[in-house]
Structure 1
Amino acid sequence: MNTKRLVIVGCGKLAEIVADALINGILPDYQLVGVLSRTKEKAEAIANKIEKADSDYTCQVCSSLDELLALKPDYLVESASPAALRELALPALKNGTSLVVLSIGALANRAFYQDVEQTARENSQRVHIVSGATGGFDVLRTASLMGKTRVSFDTEKGPNSLKGTSVYDEALQTEKRKVFEGNAQEAIALFPTKVNVAVAASLASVGPEDIQVSVTSTPDFVGDDHRIEVRNEQVHAVIDVYSQTAQIAGWSVVNTLRNISLPIVF
């Protein structure tokens, strides 16, 4: 078996899901050889977990991107931030490392998207955009190939998840309100870490400038509810996914890694 060398950037709860999948045999074709995180303790926790499960296992805790890429990984899982993706994407691809990406918001920038696309092509690598907390990318891509298509992406969140953004005020704790309407490019500029899935849906369909995005704040709402509607002359589809926590995003990384290695792909 040709084991694929895997590294992770960003060692929070989503990375832990990937590590657990490796330990539990769900990703038998991969070996986690290195981790990098803004918080070194979190990276060490994942490396220790992996090595404790298998005494023959070595997972290096890296202090820089250069050190991580020197491990010559086949795949890099990014679960950090759009800023981190902007920093690591081109060097990783040039290194001969394909990407599995969660912080898709960075790709809403057309120039960066084109640079990533060209660099991946020139180095015979691929960028795998995971579905995260939503789905239906196959329907979105297929419908958009059929001709003129309209796509909308509506998100419902609790007000506490909007703290630290310009749309938040205390009245949202008791008042349901639509706090944003625009396209995905505008949305990711306002919410850099909170609407990556809207950008992903736009890239799978009509593009960040042409998808209609709205964000609604609902008092006491827990989790996220993402509703995508796609419509053309022949197709009308609605994808509605509620998730209480962000765990589904971590599992979507696991599913993407499985699809890379399995002979039959869903």
Structure 2
Amino acid sequence: MKEAKKTLAIVGCGKLADIVVDALLSGVLDDYQLIGSYSRTFEKAQKLAERINKEEIGYRCDAYESISEIIALKPDYIVESAAPVALRELALPALKNGSSIVTLSIGALADEEFYNQVQETAKKHGTRVHLVSGSIGGFDVLRTASLMGDCEITFDTEKSPKSLRSTSVYESALETDAKKVFSGNAKQAIALFPTKVNVAVAASLASVGPENIKVSVTSVPDYIGDDHRIEIKNEEVHAIVDVYSKTSKIAGWSVVNTLRNITSPIVF
């Protein structure tokens, strides 16, 4: 007897959500069916749903105007690709209602109180929160090395000044001169860059915690994409994970990989 497909909903209908739909329509996520979409801009949610519906693949996806409507659907999994504020609104009620979450907005979990609330709620209701790797990797070695004992970890990012224009650190001189615009820990970094350093928080949660990881952000003129370099050391292990990505597409595909791992008999 063929097992029923897992139901899926998406919160945040931008380019990364489009990648998840691409994977659904191409058969890469054949264990799932997308039943609901939500975006702050309703037209984006409609457009995403229409991509599913026009294919006539045996089920329907509907667009919704609120996160509460998505939660009421009780999908098996909710993919969150919006922003940390969306995860804060979504997480606790969705987990209580029986939906597990696959999230890119890991920065919200730098708040220890919220992290603990999410953890306890998921445990109590038999649900889970899957933190995807986004534009980095190496969660396995970070977690393993940190379990072995005391370790030090640094997270250094290079970005273009263009990507920093909406932040308080931006100045016109960044267009011509390289400059380290931030040095601190992951909790401080996500407070300053709410949508720019989710990956730093992810690396910290996989290892020493948001307040114990050393984070730096450097602006480089004419730079394209992002480069994230993670280094972890203890008495027995020295590992470096350095990932460059030209665009944010890797983050969308990391969601696809996580969803495949959830249902696969062999997990990477």
Q: Same fold (TM over 0.5)?
A: yes
In structure 2, the partner of 1:19 is 21
Per-residue deviation, 1:164 = 1.6
Q: Secondary structure at the match of 2:54?
A: helix
Question: What amino acid is aligned across from residue 119 of structure 2 in structure 1?
Answer: E
CA-based RMSD of the aligned residues comes to 0.7
Q: Secondary structure at the match of 1:57?
A: coil
Which residue, out of 105, 108, 112, partners 2:114?
A: 112
Moved more, 84-93 or 65-74: 65-74
The 5 A counterparts of 1:123-142 are 123-142=125-144
Structure 1's unaligned 5+ residue stretches are: none
Q: Secondary structure at the match of 1:99?
A: strand
In structure 2, the partner of 1:40 is 42
1:125-149 CA-partner distances (Å, limit 9, x unpaired): 0100000000000000000000001
Question: What amino acid is aligned across from residue 139 of structure 1 in structure 2?
Answer: V
Per-residue deviation, 1:55 = 5.0
In structure 2, the partner of 1:190 is 192
The 5 A counterparts of 1:65-144 are 65-144=67-146
Which residue, out of 239, 243, 246, partners 1:244?
A: 246
Q: In 1, distance between residues paired with 2:24 and 2:57?
A: 14
1:150-189 CA-partner distances (Å, limit 9, x unpaired): 1100000000100121110000000000010000000000
1:21-64 CA-partner distances (Å, limit 9, x unpaired): 00000001100000010011111111011111225321011111
Question: What amino acid is aligned across from residue 261 of structure 1 in structure 2?
Answer: T
Q: Does 1:157 align with 2:170?
A: no
Q: Secondary structure at the match of 2:260?
A: helix
In structure 1, the partner of 2:210 is 208
Q: Secondary structure at the match of 1:213?
A: strand
Question: What amino acid is aligned across from residue 129 of structure 2 in structure 1?
Answer: V
Per-residue deviation, 1:66 = 2.1
Which residue, out of 148, 164, 184, partners 1:146?
A: 148
Q: In 1, distance between residues paired with 2:26 and 2:56?
A: 11
Question: What amino acid is aligned across from residue 67 of structure 1 in structure 2?
Answer: E
Structure 1 residue runs of 4 or more that deviate by more than 2 Å after TM superposition: 54-57
1:3-28 CA-partner distances (Å, limit 9, x unpaired): 10100000000000000100000001
Q: In 2, distance between residues paired with 1:68 and 1:168?
A: 36
Q: Secondary structure at the match of 1:106?
A: helix
Q: In 1, distance between residues paired with 2:59 and 2:119?
A: 34
Q: In 2, distance between residues paired with 1:134 and 1:201?
A: 8
Structure 2's unaligned 5+ residue stretches are: none
Which residue, out of 21, 30, 33, partners 1:31?
A: 33
Question: What amino acid is aligned across from residue 189 of structure 2 in structure 1?
Answer: A
1:37-95 CA-partner distances (Å, limit 9, x unpaired): 00111111110111112253210111112211221200000000000100000000001
Question: What amino acid is aligned across from residue 251 of structure 1 in structure 2?
Answer: W
In structure 2, the partner of 1:262 is 264
Q: Secondary structure at the match of 1:219?
A: coil
> TM-score, normalization: structure 1?
0.99
Q: In 2, distance between residues paired with 1:71 and 1:103?
A: 21
Q: Secondary structure at the match of 1:53?
A: coil
1:235-262 CA-partner distances (Å, limit 9, x unpaired): 0000000000000000000000000000
Q: Does 1:64 align with 2:81?
A: no
Q: In 2, distance between residues paired with 1:196 and 1:21?
A: 23
> TM-score, normalization: structure 2?
0.98
1:209-230 CA-partner distances (Å, limit 9, x unpaired): 0000000000000000000001
